[in-house]
Amino acid sequence: MIDINFYLALCSVVTLGLLLAPKSGKYSRLLILFQFTLLVFAFFSKKNFLTVISLESLSYIYFFLYPKDHKDQGRSISSFIVSGSISAIFLSVWIFLPSQSIIGTYFLAVAVFIKSSLLLFHFWMPSAYENGTAEINSFSSGVMAIFPFFLFLEFVYPLWNEPIFYLILASIASTGVFVGGVSSYFQSKVSLLLAYSSIEKLNFLWLCIALAGIAKTTTDTGFHILEKPFLILFYFGLIQHSISKVFQFSLMGRIWKSPYLNQLNNIRGMGRLLGIPTALSIIGTMSFMAIPGTSGFLVESMYLLLSSQVLDIQSGRSIAVLPVLVLVFTGLVTGGVSHLRLFYTVFLSTVRTTELEIKPTIENSKYNLDLYWLATMILLPSLTLPFFWNEYFPGTTGVWLKDAGILSFVSLGFVIVVMLFSPKKKIKQATWDCGSKADITRTSVTGETYSLPVRSSLGRYLVKSNGESRLDSTVYKFIHTLLNPYWYRIKQMLDEEDLSNYLAISSGGVLVILLLFFIKDILGY
């Protein structure tokens, strides 16, 4: 029952974190708490319909809790609602089909793939996050995106016993890690950078499930025992992604409050004005960089250890791991470094301009309470989970997992000791570079400084010079062409006969659906 307990704990943790957020009012907090309770109850009692309803209603409550600051947010909310609606259609089919139906699991799988942005089902996410508020994005990426995984593991995973499903899933997910990581690195908007980073991480989670599925369906005993470790790795990854991403959105949301402030280059150095201690603000970035002491370290080191176990297996299937590793390593590294790029530009670079002042908040520590809470949640798993969950890992991997915990303790302990006990002496200050009297605010570093050198070799195949994803824009174009034929084209001014044309098209659609029912029920196909 690890999954139920895990979700219960996760819901409680994230709900508490959200309730501590400074913006939400008394009634909205109560509403969120009620919805989460309902959701947890629905999971416990396995009421699928209730789960879906509470899931969807919770999303919508969140959308409307926050004010619409500018007109572009309409597009983001539309993307959220369209993706949610398409997903809900597939979910509804699954709900109305018999519970053990394999056909039903295909529909459910598509629904959860959309919700959790598996590559090729992810197109809504960048568009939804681009102009959304940090609060909605953090909720969607950190909390809502993880529930589909539960549905998959609970209702699809036990019924899918064909290796081909998992092999396809592993191929798509590993490509997704690569595409997400690389696209994230070349973004010039904060929201898009975090959106593609979410795609990278969510695809990584799908990869863990796929590898567990491959292990489940293989006849090789050496590989078969790795099913549970890969599932545990998925749980590690889920905790890391959801909490670290909420942290990043909460942190960046303090600056990114308008489309102008969403541009990375416009906010360089502004993090310094927030008055948040660097040791606190960097923790989310450290987690994505897999620095020892954070949950990211635990996830990536475990993935590498399990991969090395797979490599040692005397089986033809283990060769397939190597090409997967190429994509995954590159994706993970670029995804992690994209957070570093974000942090360096916003929090370590000098302030470019003083036109847009951000009020320092160092006096009000309550303002940062959510960050402290989330930072603790980022650090705790790497210090505790290795000692409790190592028994699920076979042979030396279990011992290494414990070692990961020890290394986390040592690293974190060392940094804390150095911070507490290093002598605080007054040190002479001067800058050699540009002369000691130079205006240091002129030397702030842009986001492109980090990404431009790799653009021609890595980025140009996936991302345009303005940061737009080539894959996404091609798909948008295709969908636009498909949904916007000559007779149904969006017009500035409607003609008189347009209304009847639209009615005729809608009636045609209804007739086709009725025909399908007729074929199924009357003719028996």
Indicate the residue among 109 and 273 with the shorter CB distance to another protein.
273
CA distance 463 to 178: 12
Indicate the residue among 19 and 304 with the shorter CB distance to another protein.
304
Indicate the residue among 422 and 492 with the shorter CB distance to another protein.
422
Q: Which residues fall within 8 angstroms of residue 377, CB to CB, at 6 or more apart?
A: 13, 17, 243
- The least CB distance from residue 469 to another protein, in Å, is 18
Provide the 3-class DSSP secondary structure of residue 189. Answer: strand
Q: Which of 184, 183, 164, 162 is nearest to 172 (CA)?
A: 164
- The least CB distance from residue 427 to another protein, in Å, is 5
- The least CB distance from residue 332 to another protein, in Å, is 8
Residue 326 identity (one-letter amino acid): V
- The least CB distance from residue 290 to another protein, in Å, is 6
- The least CB distance from residue 409 to another protein, in Å, is 12
DSSP bridge partners of 463: 469
CA distance 280 to 248: 11
Indicate the residue among 32 and 351 with the shorter CB distance to another protein.
351
Q: Residues 333, 179: contact at Cβ < 8 Å?
A: no
Indicate the residue among 2 and 406 with the shorter CB distance to another protein.
406
Q: What are the CA-CA distances from residue 483 to residues 477, 486, 487, 489, 490 (Å)?
A: 10, 10, 10, 8, 10
- The least CB distance from residue 240 to another protein, in Å, is 14
Q: What are phi and psi of 286, to 5 degrees?
A: -60, -35
> Tokens standing for 367?
């303002």
Using left for φ > 0, alpha for ψ between -120 and 50, and beta otherwise, residue 465 falls in alpha
Indicate the residue among 55 and 286 with the shorter CB distance to another protein.
286
- The least CB distance from residue 175 to another protein, in Å, is 15
Indicate the residue among 5 and 456 with the shorter CB distance to another protein.
456
Provide the 3-class DSSP secondary structure of residue 463. Answer: strand
Rg (CA), the chain: 24
